[in-house]
Amino acid sequence: MNDRFTFIDVPGSRLQQKLCAVTEEGLSKPHKELPSRFFYDAAGSVLFEQICALPEYYPTRTEHAILARSAREMIDSAGKDLTLVEFGSGSSSKTRLLIETLLERQPALHYLPIDISADFMRQSCYTLLDDYERLAVTGIAAEYSDGIHALPAPDSPRLFLFLGSNIGNFDRDEAEAFLRRIRQQMQPEDRVLIGIDLIKERSILTAAYNDHAGVTAAFNKNLLVRINNELGGKFDLDAFVHEAPYIEAESRIEMHLVSHHKQSIPIAYLEQSFAFTAGERIHTENSHKYTLGSFGELCAPACLKTEAYWTDERNWFAVLLLKPIEMSRNSSTTKNPAAILTAVIPTAVSSDLAQPGE
């Protein structure tokens, strides 16, 4: 199996130092915050897998159904003899649908997952290699932005996958910058397949992030567990409450950890304590929801255009195929918002693409 597996650990991308620095910075702010990318150590990745299986958490199931129904159409639209690059691969379960479709069409496939959770990704890679003989895997253990630069030079057209509405966890500027970074790496024949969570009724959104079993709360508190384990923190998990409201003005779910009472938390590694008033919150995650139009506005400055998209029958989730447009068109679209919309929402998306399964 080894000759089919390469592992690239990007130096500095996953250092404990980073958790140390972001904790000190984030807990020193007037509005305390911790970045959501630190949810995903081995325990956090397992919790996230559990979230994906929750009855309330519709995104994974819905996206999976869209992929199951339309994988062939997606791959046919994306090009020939493709290499698959995936950001935030997790357990790669949805990717299997695409891998299988690709292996039906081409003799071999090179798959390059990029994930911050090194051990979890390595394990997923081994399982994939066991299951698919004609697959070669290059696992890249890194944050997305570091991972992009660690990619080997392409020898065939690439399909970049960014599934699960992972992009929704970026703020607008970060999302735009990330799309721009991918675009800068793209050849004209490369494509991006991206999953986005669509705006819908508030009660459905909030239920997905406030599950009855408390798995999302445990996932949120995993940040405190990590600070306790890795930085010698003394967070009492029962003294913080998970909250996840939908903020309509921002079209996003926000996750917070709210201090139950006034308390001071020492963190040995930082040689300092952090004071919390009763009700004071740590903002831990944003999960943005989009319309096809608002997402198009995000893509246009990065010179990416929607070539096709697929949704479910309730329009809860969408998978979009993005193609690069010439950089020179950027200046005209960014100056003219109306041009952005016409540039990125395909006026000619056929209804059979928009309504998978017909």
Which residues are at the interface with ligand AVI (CB under 6 A)?
51, 59, 164-166, 168-169, 209, 216, 219, 285, 287
Other beta carbons less than 10 A from residue 30's beta carbon: 4
Q: Which residue is nearest to ligand AVI (CB)?
A: 287
| Least distance CB 88 / ligand AVI (angstroms) | 7
Tokens of 97: 């649908």
Q: Kind and range of the H or E element at 105?
A: helix 93-105
| Least distance CB 27 / ligand AVI (angstroms) | 20
Tokens of 100: 């299988």
| Least distance CB 93 / ligand AVI (angstroms) | 14
The smaller minimum CB distance to ligand AVI, of residues 93 and 156, is found at 93
Tokens of 122: 């390595």
Q: SS3 sequence, 108-146?
A: CEEEEEEECCHHHHHHHHHHHHHHCCCEEEEEEECCHHH
Tokens of 83: 């290499």
- For 259, which DSSP code? E
What CA–CA distance (Å, rounded) separates 231 from 176?
Answer: 32
Residues 6+ positions from 118 with CB-CB distance below 8 Å: 9, 14, 141
The smaller minimum CB distance to ligand AVI, of residues 33 and 73, is found at 33
The smaller minimum CB distance to ligand AVI, of residues 219 and 235, is found at 219
The smaller minimum CB distance to ligand AVI, of residues 111 and 219, is found at 219
| Least distance CB 207 / ligand AVI (angstroms) | 11
Give CA angle at 295 (290, 298), nearest 5°: 130
Tokens of 224: 């405190």
The smaller minimum CB distance to ligand AVI, of residues 81 and 254, is found at 254
If phi > 0 it is left, if psi is from -120 to 50 it is alpha, else beta; for residue 289 that is beta
| Least distance CB 26 / ligand AVI (angstroms) | 17
| Least distance CB 314 / ligand AVI (angstroms) | 17
| Least distance CB 222 / ligand AVI (angstroms) | 11
The smaller minimum CB distance to ligand AVI, of residues 216 and 251, is found at 216
The smaller minimum CB distance to ligand AVI, of residues 34 and 343, is found at 34
